[in-house]
Structure 1
Amino acid sequence: MNALTKQAASFSESMIPQCLENAAMDPTLFDTYGVKRGLRDKAGNGVVAGLTNISDVSAYWFDEQGNKHPQEGKLSYRGYNINDLVNGFVREKRFGFEETTYLLLFSKLPDEKELAEFTELLASLRRLPTNFVRDVIMKASGKDIMNSMTRSVLTLGSYDDTLNDTSLSNVLRQCLMLISEFPMLAVYGYRAYSHYERNKSLYIHRPDMSLSTAENILRMLRPDKKFTKLEALVLDIALVLHMEHGGGNNSTFTTRVVTSSGSDTYSVMAAALCSLKGPKHGGANIKVQQMMKDLKKHVKDTSDVDEIVFYLSQLLNKEAFDKKGLIYGMGHAVYSVSDPRAQIFKGFVKDLAEEKGLMDDYQLYSNVEQLAVDLISKRRTIYKGVCANVDFYSGFVYSMLGIPEELFTPLFAMARIVGWSAHRMEELITGDKIIRPAYKPLSTQKEYIDLHNRP
């Protein structure tokens, strides 16, 4: 830390009490003025801010009296149940990312010819401008790959002669290019960090046009470019399950907010990336991994249920790990009985664990899931049920695939950009107003005092 940085840090530290005093407000005022904190009511239901045809996330059913009842979580893309979509391409031994991308963008399942042409188009777009890797990605490398991706996305905008053209055809072209380029931006960003910051060997593998998105991610990441069919299949399923989750999740809502201002596609996707990287959103699976590592340090026998329960109780009592009182990977803003993505994923996680010889770890995750749900339900007063969410297992899968933690959230982004693209298009088509919610002002009017008269 240089002298100027230290000076700025010292000044900032000294002003914190002033900031805290200025921001302080009586929490009961939120109820007084009917403010929905986080745009959610006290039961956790989101404020309805828009309409969408892209996906449906549901966890309740309503009786004739309008009473809400929890049910198994459901997720559909363009009206198709996520279970049916995954079972369809798995049964036919195909990869699903490209097909599901087509569905989310164009509202229909492609036929064989359409899918082949679309897959070929995405493959042909897996390229970056000349010297982009050297001049942009390799410069100012760092551990935060999401920041690296954001910088790269904004820089790609400077290569686009039609940057600010928001016609549907141009926006779709830009979205398709970014969907194809995201894996390269992420993997190459990690390779730069690994080389310059961790003193590892530097290698850049070009994508193979004959391979799927999931296969190319593994190919570009690994030194020998090799992977098994099951590894690629499980990663492909992970991408499909993370592609879209309604218009209200933080990064997708960010996409729609920035789109509503008339901004360009690169700025919109950069904003979405910044939203996704937060530990309360896309970074949650990293917290699960870190929690499980801490569990293994403090639980001598990971097959002993009593020891696991004791550790989980310590988590809830704010006595273990980060002392936040949370069991990461448990609970979801919408789902109560089950997260359909976690339910689908779990079976494939088991298959991969068997291939990797990590069934003991899989059993530990399974035990923690069951015990945590029971503990939280008994010890916390909650307005709805609690269940394992998809983040509980995704980090475990990525670690089994040899994917470093620095790429966990970027992998989420490689998938979710498809949903962002669909919502950007829908907002351009159906939205005609800039999104602008209101905040209730609490400040009082003050008399201006000349500089030399201020106390």
Structure 2
Amino acid sequence: MVKTVQEALFDITPEIKKLAALSEKNNQIEKDLYTKYEVKRGLRDLNGKGVLAGLTNISDVCAKEIVDGKEVPCPGRLYYRGYNIKDLVNGFLAADHYGFEEISYLLLFGDLPTEKELSDFHDLLVERRVLPPNFVRDVIMKASSPDMMNSISRSILQLYSYDSKADDTSTENVLRQCLNLISQFPMLMVYGYHAYNYKMGEDLFIYAPKPELSTAENILMMLREDRKYTKLEARILDMALVLHMDHGGGNNSTFTTHVVTSSGTDTYSTMAAAMASLKGPKHGGANVKVVQMFDDMKKVVKDWTDKEEVAAYLTRLLDKDAFDKKGLIYGMGHAVYSVSDPRAEIFKDFVKRLAKEKGYEKEYNLYEMVEHMAPLIIGEKRKIYKGVNANVDFYSGLVYSMLDLPPALYTPIFAAARIVGWSAHRLEELKNVDKIIRPAYKPLAPYKEYVKLEDR
């Protein structure tokens, strides 16, 4: 069968396989050399402590404290602009209002808003919940992608073309761009999802956001054909957005934001780069992998209450004999936290309530069992240098599934929150740092004499 040029683009030919093998051979670096030259792989030491690469006022991740002059692991704490995340969440829950807009103001500007400041900020975001004329038709509907992170990234890059001051990196202009993107992101996400479903033969419905609704409410309203949602659903989604907004300057996508910003590039390119980082299954894509892993587990494990059967499955995961054979228990472990992830703790309380209301108690009990058993099994099978605990991704996927959110939007919802943190860090980088970020890599290849083509 003769293939078209277009089809041939996607073939992995014998020649490509041969070249790939050559690439792997000449790109291999012995792991012992990283220790010999004291390279901090992942910019972290063996205990998970990150290499100090910058300073920030925006958020702080605490996993250790000083006891008797020594650093010891402690329950994790997360601070936004100096405020404990638990206090912030409890604050807007007690006041019975949505938190996304209030905490966005805090992260961007450094202070908790007054009632008037919050009202004005909400109105500022509302007036920016618009896309350029025909943008949905000309960009989002064209070449729609099954991967929403790629779809949104493409839309963000296309917005550059509609901005007459796209390359202006003054604080005022970058703030304008960031506020636009924060406001537009839910539309880029939901419309991209609907566009792909339409391409696959489903009905198309595009709803404009409503000015009186919060960000979380608008996401649910625009996503569902009947536009209906419960207050509990909106409250939990709003909380998820707040918990995912920021996580220190060193997480992969935020560090990407700092690195790319330091080059002097535009806001749209910076956000697209951060999106590319967040998409990865070791970062924002982890919540999808958790759900997929549990879906496989529920098929394989016949009795979800049998600890021995569940333990056997977890062991097979680590032995690369189950699910995706990557040797990972997704949702377990964190680069910083070793005792507990405060975001997971906050989420867990609401997961339990939602599971009871939605009839997901059996699934919740399985998740809780894995949460308790996985660290023990990992400790038996692997040499670990710090504690292993459930991270926020462990429960967020379950929450989203109970909210009937499509898996294709799990990571984009993370991004819809994290773009606030990226914006704050971009503004901070532009204000304080005037050097491009450029760490060193030690070259290992020996110098060689050039050999003429006919002599090789």
Give the alignment's TM-score, normalised by structure 1.
Answer: 0.97
The whole-number CA distance in structure 2 between the counterparts of 1:112 and 1:211 is 17
Q: CA deviation at 1:425?
A: 0.4
Counterpart among 27, 30, 34 of residue 26 in structure 1? 30
Change (3 A) 1:378 1:451: closer
Larger mean Cα displacement after TM superposition, 369-378 or 79-88: 369-378
The reply on whether 1:343 has 2:345 as its aligned counterpart is yes
User: After superposition, what is the alpha-carbon deviation per residue over 1:283-321, rounded to whole angstroms, capped at 9, x for unaligned?
Assistant: 001110011001110111212222222222222222221
Distance 1:354-1:261 versus aligned 2 partners, 3 A rule: same
SS for the counterpart of 1:234 is helix
Instruction: Please name the residue that 1:165 is paired with.
Output: 168
**Equivalence map 1:32-71=2 (5 Å):** 32-65=36-69, 67-71=70-74
What residue is the counterpart of 2:285 in the other structure?
283
Q: Within 1, Cα distance between the matches of 2:10 and 2:225?
A: 40
| Partner amino acid, structure 2, of 1:23 | N
Q: Which residue of 254, 257, 260 corresponds with 2:256? A: 254
Match of 2:116 in 1: 113
Residue identity matched to 2:121: F
Which amino acid letter does the alignment assign opposite residue 81 of structure 1? N
**In structure 1, how many angstroms separate the alpha carbons of the residues matched to 2:366 and 2:11?**
48
Find the partner of 2:243 among 237, 241, 255. 241
Query: Does the alignment pair 1:304 with 2:306?
Result: yes
3-state SS in 2 of match to 1:387: coil
Distance 1:367 1:270, change over 3 A: same
Measured after TM superposition, the shift of residue 42 of structure 1 is: 1.8
Which is further off, 378-387 or 117-126?
378-387
Output one character per residue of 1:308-362: Cα deviation in whole Å (capped at 9) or x when no partner. Answer: 2222222222222122222111110100110000000011112222221212211
Distance in structure 2 (CA, Å) of the matches to 1:106 and 1:221: 30
Distance in 1, Cα, partners of 2:159 & 2:286: 28
SS of the aligned residue for 2:72 comes to strand
Structure 1 residue 221 corresponds to structure 2 residue 223 = yes
Q: Following TM superposition, by how much is the alpha carbon of 1:6 offset from its aligned partner in structure 2, in angstroms?
A: 5.7
Question: Which residue does the alignment assign to 1:202?
Answer: 204
Alpha-carbon distance between aligned partners in 2 of 1:6 and 1:96, rounded to the nearest angstrom: 45
- The answer to whether structure 1 residue 126 and structure 2 residue 123 are counterparts is no
**What are the ranges of 5 or more consecutive residues in structure 1 without an aligned counterpart?**
none
2:20 partner letter? I
Deviation at 1:2, TM superposition (A): 3.7
Could you report, residue by residue, the CA deviation over 1:10-65 in whole angstroms, capped at 9, with x for unpaired residues? 43212012112211222221122221111111222110000000000011112354
Q: Which amino acid aligns with 2:125?
A: L
Hey, what's the Cα distance between the residues in 2 that align with 1:432 and 1:412? 30
Identical-pair percentage: 62
Which letter does structure 2 place at the counterpart of 1:330? Answer: M
Aligned partners of 2:293, 2:30: CA distance in 1, in Å?
34
Q: CA separation of 1:379/1:18 partners in 2, compared to 1, >3 Å: closer, same or farther?
A: closer
Aligned counterparts of 2:29 and 2:272: Cα–Cα separation in 1: 32
Q: Which amino acid aligns with 2:169?
A: T
- Work out the CA distance in 1 between the residues paired with 2:191 and 2:15: 37
Q: Residue 368 of structure 1 is aligned with which of 367, 370, 384?
A: 370
1:137 to 110, 128, 140: 140
Query: CA shift at 1:450, angstroms?
Result: 2.2
The letter of the residue matching 2:178 is C
Aligned to 1:440: 442
Give the deviation of 1:191 after TM superposition. 0.6
Letter in 2 for 1:54: I
344-353 or 112-121, larger mean C-alpha shift: 344-353
What CA RMSD, in Å, does the superposition of the two structures yield over aligned residues? 1.3
Alignment of 1:150-189 (within 5 A): 150-189=153-192
Residues 44-94 of structure 1, C-alpha deviation per residue, up to 9 Å, x if partnerless? 2110000000000011112354x3211000000000000000000001111
SS in 2 for 1:76: strand
Q: What SS does the corresponding residue of 2:31 show, helix, strand or coil?
A: coil
- Greater shift after overlay, 199-208 or 227-236? 199-208
What is the aligned partner in structure 2 of residue 267 from structure 1?
A: 269
User: Which letter does structure 1 place at the counterpart of 2:74?
Assistant: Q
Question: What is the aligned partner in structure 2 of residue 292 from structure 1?
Answer: 294
What is residue 80 of structure 1 aligned with on the other side?
83
Counterpart residue number, 1:352: 354
Q: Report the alpha carbon displacement of residue 97 of structure 1 after superposing the two structures with TM.
A: 0.3
For 2:382 and 2:18, how far apart are their aligned partners in 1? Answer: 38
Q: TM-score, normalised by structure 2?
A: 0.97
Q: Distance in 2 between matches of 1:231 and 1:19?
A: 49
**What is the match of residue 385 of structure 2?**
383
